[in-house]
Amino acid sequence: MTLAELRRGQKAIIKDVSSVYIPLKLLEMGCLPGNSAELVQVAPFADPMYLNINGSHLAIRKETAMHIIIETTDE
């Protein structure tokens, strides 16, 4: 599944990041394969998404999140 489908409170591990669509800046902020991702809050219409990625809190748009492949982890 992609990051865009993550629900609030759900935790996931990033599996793949498409370097064609994702700018270097987002990678530098920790959005890399192997790192954790969690949805903190969504704005109205579920866009943008407020995420905790690898301990960094950041917000990105849904269209960007669609290019990040994740796998949910159950705890």
Contacting other proteins (CB under 8 A), which of 1, 15, 59, 71? 59
Candidate residues 6, 60, 68, 70; the one interacting with other proteins per rule CB under 8 A:
60
17/31 Cα distance (integer angstroms): 8
Helix residue ranges, H only, the chain: 24-28, 62-65
Assess 70 for contact with other proteins (CB under 8 A).
Answer: no
**HSE-CB for 12 with a 13 A CA cutoff:** 29
Asked if 26 interacts with other proteins (CB under 8 A), we say yes
Residue with token string 């498409």: 18
Report the interface residues with other proteins, using CB under 8 A.
19, 23-30, 32-33, 35, 40-41, 43-45, 47-48, 50, 54-61, 63-64
